[in-house]
Structure 1
Amino acid sequence: MRDRFGLRVCVAVVSVGALLSSTAVPSVAAGEVPIGAADRDWPGHSDDATLRGKIIKMLRHMTLQEKVGQLFVVEVYGQDANSVSPAMAARNRALYGVDTPAQVIDKYKPGGVIYFDSRRGPDNVRNPRQIGTLSNGLQAAAVSQRQPIPLLISTDQEGGAVVFRLVAPATAMPGNMALGAARSTADAHRSAEVIGTELAAVGINQNYAPVADVNVNPANPVIGVRSVGEDPALVSGIVAAQVDGYHDGGVATVAKHFPGHGDTAVDSHFGLPEVTHTREQIEAIDLPPFRAAIDEGVDTIMTAHVVLRSVDPSGAPATMSEPILTGLLREELDYDGLIVTDALDMGGATSTYPPNVAPVEAFKAGADQLVLAPQMDVAYNAVLDAIRSGEISMRRLDESVYRILRLKMKRGLFDDPFVDVDLAEKVVGAPDHLADAQVITDHTTTLVKNDAGVLPLSDDPRNVLVTGWGVTTTSTLGNAIGQRGQTVTVRETGTTPSQATINQVVAEAANSDLVVVSTMNAASVSVTTGLPTASAAAQQALVKALLATGKPVVVSGMRNPYDISYLTEAPTYLATYGYTAAQLESLTRVLFGEVNPVGKLPVTIPRADGSGALYPFGHGLSYHG
């Protein structure tokens, strides 16, 4: 290991290998480690033959506290393991009573750390060198403990523009529903491989992806374009390809959110949704992608904070449901990989379970790792007390720790958990990655409607007004159109344009030859009233006012493709399923006929009045072929 990590790390790295070969048992407090258990009495399976002995030896060496620590996945504040700003230190101190990320590892000896960007607060991810240095510092702290056990370092890098943590220069892949529109498992595999390769380069060894939810509810406020689509077979094929691709890229995979979050109208970050599917519907709709992921060797499955009474009549969320996690996932689906909770600080968990109850109930239900438990001291001690009291057996604890250690060994973390930060700068955003991202994205843009024959545009110069949602979206799209020899005016309106803003944009349209307007969930409806939200209604009013000018108007739905349900007057409509730079470039290429639109709707577009399908699954227009 490089000198910048210091002697402490060099010694720790040696001790990882020494642990696996040593026969000496360290001195621990009486009763902390099971004594005299025969190998056959420990958890694990015969198919773990190459690792089983090593894992059992480690379990014998671990104290109760060390085992409980492995169950937790924590967030840490700051960009460096050992030196953080006063503001970041204050956040760590508020959560954990210590200042730095390395001190968090020292205190709890957690099994995992999850990275977030500045939007949530931890601000862990700035650039490849910084991320890799943070990862190395955290791993150094982990393998410097009495029991040197490397960390699972994870993040949510799903692809697309909705749930992601690494930004430029990291490669932005098009996202799940866009991949569903492309219908290409090869593209899905390559997309995941690129993401995995870049994550691995900066020391992130586990990605909380792919999303395996089947989005059959157009009003779903939390999944939407994060899902491949509404067809279980399509979702299953893409998910399996992604699992394989992430593995080829060098990271562990996490299929989420079990048993399925695709038919909800409540966001589990803020409340507790209920899925009303029957057992037959679960088998036909929700489970196939998870079965496909399991068949492909998915490492981990993440729980959903959703109620599913057809499996568990008690009404407990899946995360805390033994019938769902142990009965359905472990026993019926025969899954022996890691089960990780969705974040325990989400409303779907905290609204029902206090901080000292949620982690215990989730663990008793069958979860192996507990993510972002609120009030870490309370959660840690609650699990510890439950084991000491016999509420949770030592064998049950060992089963989970066994799975955690097994995954870390399978991913090679005990061999070398560190990364080369110089290499990371070359890998992240590599030219071939960016080129592949654009090619893949060009397969996804869907031309839903072209009644007036406006598209494809000729190369003739014209005045183009680019308007609608998104400061970056409209400016990036305007620049791309301007590069085609067009004179472009950009007027961003926000998600809820006022009447004054609409009037201003309409006046601009009078001086334009063409209007390109972006919408952002303009089909959103209120759960309570069933009517369009204020934001959706304002965007609909903007588009209709522009159509009334008589100018050619091209509408592009920039997130969920359902916006056309409320904009049926628009003669030209495209779906991009996201707003990455590559997606905006692809949209522009389609507008000018440089790329033939080949994307097909991976969901049905319903009529706004609920009378049936406006556009069916699989619909999509092309210019030729």
Structure 2
Amino acid sequence: MLSRRTLAPLALALLLLSSACDGEGGGDGGDGSSQDTADAAAVAEDLLTDMDLDEKVGQTLVVVAEGTTAEENAGIIEEHQPGGFIYFPENMTDAEQIAELSNGLQERAADTGAGVPLFLGVDQEQGMVSRLPVGTRFPDAMAVGATRDTEMARSRASVTADELAALGINLDYAPVADVNVNAANPVIGIRSFGSDPELVSEMALAEAEAFEEGGVVPVVKHFPGHGDTDVDSHTGLPEVDKSRDDWEKVDLPPFESAVEADVDAVMTAHVFLPELDDSGEPSTLSGEVINGVLRDELGYDGVVTTDALNMEGVRQTHDDGEIAVRALEAGADQLLMPPDAAGAADAVRNAVEEGRISEDRLDESVRRILELKVRRGLLDAEPADAGAAAETVGSAENADAAQEVADASVTLLRNEGEVLPLDGGATVSVSGSGADGISEALGELGYQVTGSAVDADVAVVGTDDARSDPEQAVPVEAAASAGTPVVVVAQGTPYDIEELPEVEGYLATYSSVGVSRTAAARAIAGEVSPTGRLPVDIPGTDLEYGDGMGY
């Protein structure tokens, strides 16, 4: 009798033998062929057959890693045999430690229960949502949208995937496929590629494909769309009050494209969209949304993960155990970050034993999870090379790729009196958000930087979502009162210009990462031409999607 610990290697051998007979390699073979899918299904079925109920329930759980070592997570692996972990900054210090943590978690999982490898995931969207303390920092998605170049999207995702893989991380909760059409959106904003559904579709799909090619599972999020909300689902339940027709025209297309491309995984949103389900439940708990729209209407049969179950948007009307059960009933496969992993596991197990959730229904989810693990090579993945990880993560080549994206994204929206580009001998004052980084970059370009707008030829003022923070207008007003031409560098959403209508120059970088501040300085100096174009409309102004000026 074979033990569960020997089943995974046996299943792998069967897969490799089948692939060799077909003259093809493992995984998707680059084309998602039906034969490869059949191979993965066969291996997954072998794994599933020998699992007991606790092991099946465990596969649906993705829990937050504890501490910085595998030993600190030994108890939860032994007790719950989770399908995956998600990392946060407190779990990570440097490249070597992260790789060792990943290796240690996989080793412990291999020696426990069914021995199935773990999904090790992280929120590394880039830009403002970047959990890694090391590695290359690219601009936010809206900056990529401003380039209009899917190769920039592919570059951002490819580099990110390479660095994650070097750390033993095999899943990224990205890309964001939300279409940001609400300037007051407090949680998406520059995390979105823009307000045009076609642009968002192209960019999100380019990133998803690049992640898959890099050996990292992408999770396209947040279905059915979080781009038209004015409430943060971390703190409450947003209601998307729009017709079904409007939703299909604006929010649906990126997810429809993702489904057609058979992306690895889709994440649900904790939003209430009455036109899809008027029950009052968030989409994460709605069978009308997941089983009805995503599964039945769109035909998606890949892995569906919930957004984090510790967010208030999903915790309004049920206790945490009931939420876990309802998410699976609605059609989700993975339960991300349940506040109480033991409570979630107990609730799901009890629901199966009582017949509320059939074991066949549970098997559907576990089967999808296992098939994805097989197709993405987790069963035969080599341990991360902890010693060499630092050479890949944050390399000079990767930094150049990030700078290229940032340079291409800079969008010039105002240039009264042709204040830009600056003359080579100009004296510049820099204040506001990101002043240190912009000052340093201008200094390296040969400009004299002063702290006083009175003594400057031009005053550069950085903002970062001044639309929601009126105090950021103060340094702009102070510089203008000195009688000095003012150039604003907007490093958050480009909507700040609505609040700052009198400035002579206005550049949007859509991101506050270092390369974006350097790109702004280079555009100010004329070292690069601002070729970016608005990926959104700006309410309260005559600026529209596609606007932008050059030199």
TM-score (structure 1 length as normaliser): 0.82
Q: Relative to structure 2, which stretch is displaced further, 431-440 or 108-117?
A: 431-440
Which residue of 2 is the match for residue 166 of structure 1?
132
Q: Describe the SS at the equivalent of 1:173.
A: coil
Partner amino acid for 1:142?
A
Please give the alpha-carbon distance, in whole angstroms, between the structure 2 residues aligned to 1:312 and 1:452.
53
Q: Describe the SS at the equivalent of 1:421.
A: coil
Which residue of 1 is the match for residue 466 of structure 2?
522
Q: Describe the SS at the equivalent of 1:196.
A: helix
Shift of 1:431: 2.1
Matched, 1:468 2:432: yes
Matched, 1:132 2:99: yes
Question: Which structure 2 residues correspond to residues 118-517 of structure 1 after superposition, within 5 A?
Answer: 123-160=90-127, 162-168=128-134, 170-416=135-381, 418-462=383-427, 464-469=428-433, 473-489=434-450, 508-517=452-461
Please give the alpha-carbon distance, in whole angstroms, between the structure 1 residues aligned to 2:142 and 2:190.
5
Shift of 1:512: 2.9
Shift of 1:432: 1.7
Task: Kindly indicate whether the alpha-carbon contact (under 8 Å) linking 2:265 and 2:302 is maintained by their aligned counterparts in 1.
Answer: yes
Partner amino acid for 2:83?
G
Please give the alpha-carbon distance, in whole angstroms, between the structure 2 residues aligned to 1:19 and 1:144.
16
Q: Describe the SS at the equivalent of 1:452.
A: helix
Aligned residues: 530
Q: Describe the SS at the equivalent of 2:529.
A: coil
Which residue of 2 is the match for residue 560 of structure 1?
493
Between the two proteins, what is the percent identity of the paired residues? 45
Q: Relative to structure 2, which stretch is displaced further, 426-435 or 445-454?
A: 426-435
Partner amino acid for 1:558?
Q
Partner amino acid for 2:542?
L
Which residue of 1 is the match for residue 474 of structure 2?
541
Task: Kindly indicate whether the alpha-carbon contact (under 8 Å) linking 1:20 and 1:57 is maintained by their aligned counterparts in 2.
Answer: no
Matched, 1:600 2:539: no
Unaligned runs of 5+ in 2: 15-33
Shift of 1:331: 0.5
Q: Describe the SS at the equivalent of 1:356.
A: helix
Shift of 1:576: 0.6
Q: Describe the SS at the equivalent of 1:253.
A: strand
Task: Kindly indicate whether the alpha-carbon contact (under 8 Å) linking 2:426 and 2:457 is maintained by their aligned counterparts in 1.
Answer: no
Which residue of 1 is the match for residue 510 of structure 2?
577
Task: Kindly indicate whether the alpha-carbon contact (under 8 Å) linking 1:12 and 1:143 is maintained by their aligned counterparts in 2.
Answer: no
Shift of 1:15: 5.9
Matched, 1:16 2:5: no
Partner amino acid for 1:207?
D
Please give the alpha-carbon distance, in whole angstroms, between the structure 2 residues aligned to 1:420 and 1:545.
53
Partner amino acid for 1:156?
D
Matched, 1:68 2:12: no
Task: Kindly indicate whether the alpha-carbon contact (under 8 Å) linking 1:102 and 1:137 is maintained by their aligned counterparts in 2.
Answer: no
Q: Describe the SS at the equivalent of 2:548.
A: coil
- State the Cα RMSD in Å: 1.8
Shift of 1:537: 2.0
Task: Kindly indicate whether the alpha-carbon contact (under 8 Å) linking 1:589 and 1:595 is maintained by their aligned counterparts in 2.
Answer: yes
Select the structure with the greater relative contact order (CA < 8 A; seq sep ≥ 6).
2
1:111 to 67, 77, 83: 83
TM-score (structure 2 length as normaliser): 0.93
Shift of 1:436: 1.4
Which residue of 2 is the match for residue 79 of structure 1?
68
The structure whose Rg is larger is 1
Please give the alpha-carbon distance, in whole angstroms, between the structure 1 residues aligned to 2:126 and 2:60.
27
Q: Describe the SS at the equivalent of 2:320.
A: coil
Partner amino acid for 1:478?
S
Shift of 1:20: 5.4
Shift of 1:102: 2.4
Partner amino acid for 1:477?
I
Please give the alpha-carbon distance, in whole angstroms, between the structure 1 residues aligned to 2:111 and 2:437.
47
Unaligned runs of 5+ in 1: 1-10, 23-44, 83-99, 118-122, 491-507, 525-535, 608-612
Q: Relative to structure 2, which stretch is displaced further, 258-267 or 290-299?
A: 290-299
Please give the alpha-carbon distance, in whole angstroms, between the structure 2 residues aligned to 1:16 and 1:420.
22
Please give the alpha-carbon distance, in whole angstroms, between the structure 2 residues aligned to 1:14 and 1:376.
27
Q: What are the superposed Cα offsets for residues 148-204 of structure 1, whole Å, 9 maximum, x if unpaired?
A: 1000000111122x1111133x11112210010000011111111111111111111
